[in-house]
Amino acid sequence: MKKRSALLILILALTMSADAHSMEYDFSSMSKAHVFWEYIKLGFQHILPLGFDHILFVLGIFLLKPKMKTVLLQVTCFTIAHSITLALAMNGLISPPSGIVEPLIALSIVFIGIENVLFSELKWWRLIIVFMFGLIHGCGFAGVLSEIGLPQKDFLSALIAFNIGVEAGQTAVILLAVVLFQTRFSEKPWYRKHVTIPVSICISLVAVYWTAERLMS
């Protein structure tokens, strides 16, 4: 199981474009409810299937210790942080360049994967680190949303809807991880050695590749 899971992540990561987010939409003729629903879908699609970098980050969070409390604490910190920078960026209060944001997102995945190998329990400072990385990922979300655009008449509702979609996507990733990584066995002595560590190493290696690719582009 460990080899199949790790190999699947590696193959998918190297064959999919982590930056395949650019799309065009016309919301001018849609009703408010329709726009809201479309932005929920866009937020969800930015995670599944388009946001493979964000997927690996959430998996890294999950794999440290796949227990509800541990995962929930980290995801809450991540969600609050990326919601802050997404809102600030879309309101024009911050404008970090994508040439810096995208490599930092990849490096955040490298760090989380390595940390999973070095530590088996949630440390208090990991929550701070996840929060800081969430701020960076929020800038990445904002970059994608800026390409799509927000309708002026429905600016706030569309922004909220996109964020709801992102959270739904993250939740879906976690639910899929529960099935994929057979978390009912997570307390077994062999689970960390044969699942958490090899998959986390695989995640970090993929992110190292992305970091180099984004720095050279």
pLDDT tens, 69-107? 889 899 999 999 999 999 999 999 999 999 999 999 999
Contact yes or no for 216/26 (Cβ under 8 A): no
pTM over 0.95: no
User: CB neighbours of 102 closer than 8 A, spacing ≥ 6?
Assistant: 19, 140, 214
Distance of alpha carbon 116 from alpha carbon 74, whole angstroms? 13
pLDDT confidence of residue 110: 97
pLDDT confidence of residue 201: 97
pLDDT in tens, the chain (217 residues): 555 555 455 545 544 444 444 445 566 677 788 889 989 999 998 998 888 999 999 999 999 888 888 898 999 999 999 999 999 999 999 999 999 999 999 999 999 999 999 998 888 899 999 999 999 999 999 998 888 888 888 899 999 999 999 999 999 999 888 888 777 788 888 889 999 999 999 999 999 999 999 999 7
Contact yes or no for 160/103 (Cβ under 8 A): no
pLDDT confidence of residue 6: 58
Distance of alpha carbon 66 from alpha carbon 47, whole angstroms? 20
